[in-house]
Structure 1
Amino acid sequence: MTFIKITEQASLYNNLEDKPISEILTDINNEDKKVALAVEMAIPQIEKLVSQIVPRMQQGGRIFYLGAGTSGRLGVLDASEIPPTFGMPDTLVIGLIAGGEKALRNPVEKAEDNMTAGWEELEAHNVNSKDTVIGIAASGTTPYVIGALREARKKGILTASISSNPDSPIAQEAEIAIEMIVGPEYVTGSSRMKSGTGQKMILNMITTSVMIKLGRVKGNRMVNMQLSNAKLVDRGTRMIVDELGLEYTQAERLLLLHGSVKKAIETYKKENKT
């Protein structure tokens, strides 16, 4: 089957510079409406991936994201949100981007074209068979990602890919291929738009569902979140008020003493058994 890059096909819109702002915004919004439907079609593959990640992480495994450009930045972003949201160490979900830290803000010339760099970076983290390696590339053709997935799979490591083109090269290298076909971008080839939005949605789905299954959420609440600002202390305090029926000041004192909603509630219930 011939590999077709839908991500490089011409936009469905033309003469963008001649359009009024309201029409540009409406057109972009109409294209964005297609993203959630494309992600929905990939839920079976996402579910398959999550169901295999959870037992690995229960045994000490980690998630590694690899990508270049927008894809790499989104992987780093999702990884960086796990500690404050779920109170997990920053060593459990790790984002790697072609070109390293500099590439988060500035393009690094030809970094994504290095076929061996991704695997070398994984080796530096002592990647092993309990881990999961997820390659992200809208085009599905990024050498940095392809090389890493290929070597990881050879070593018996669970691999997955997230791309916006069907039957892409990274899908061929991955055990689980998540394909989110959002169609041509509003600005031709600008995969920071629909493809980027869909990637963020999928990464949210993966890590949120994993963290729920690892017990980092109770009911529908972030009971393990880091108390890094006044807003989060207030949120946590109100959770304790709702759960235990305490006065606000007592709940806040309990929260700050134990450092998390979960520990505060568990300790209070243990100490006040009837």
Structure 2
Amino acid sequence: MSVEIKSMRDIEAMRVIGRIAGEQLLHVGRLLKAGMTTDDINTIVHEDTLRRGAKPSQLGYHGFPKSVCTSRNAVVCHGIPGPERLKEGDIINVDITSHLNGFHGDTSATFYIGTPSKEARHVTEVCRRALELGIAEVKEGARLGDVGAAIQQYAEGQGCSVVRGIVGHGIGRTMHGPPDVSHVGKRGTGLRLKAGMVFTIEPMINYGGHEIEHLADGWTIMTKDRSLSAQFEHTVVVTKSGCEILTARREPLVGSEVTATGERLAMAPEAVAMTSMQL
């Protein structure tokens, strides 16, 4: 199946929903705290999505029962919100996909609940940087293998592992479509990128091994060794000179991009990418 090249009108519509999804993560980050349930997060996201005039893409998708995925500690992705309570020291990924005017915007981040352990901080910051490095590879003429190679080389060099079986994806009028975007790879291989392609990059980085396990609920995926896992995700559009991050945020995420010591983390790759808007 071929990869759609988005028109300027399509990309503008995706900018709108991408900004909304990014704002939703900012909103969630301000409210997260120990003691709240993951179902509380679902309520926050669902109500905020509707308030912004959009709809939650995940609700009912292939039977998914909630409006957001909440993946805590050893949960790699697709965690179903429920009665579990957040605890001091947890890390939790909040994965938001919203739908407006026929297009989807998809983004996620891993948040600290209170002060993280050394291990939690390490896997989270490695994942954050791995996404930045993957995004930096995106430009017309590059190959998807370059993206995966950059992520894999960095993460494994930091003593972490990269989940293999779950990938980024094309996005637009459908939430998931071609191309598949692997977070491991070999440079110079894979699909050659063209301006106007839109897809997500969403590495899942484990503190331990890369093996995963699917739970009986049909959705939740955990690290097989129950080590910690982190994920960050953006939706990007390929341009002639680089890429534009459609889900870029206007400020750091509370509880994520400000560390437990109060240090603001560098956002340079996003800032650079947002200037590369010529198709």
Q: State the TM-score, normalized to the length of structure 1.
A: 0.33
Q: State the TM-score, normalized to the length of structure 2.
A: 0.32
Task: Give the number of the structure whose residues are more often helix, by fraction.
Answer: 1
Larger radius of gyration: 1
Task: Give the number of the structure whose residues are more often strand, by fraction.
Answer: 2
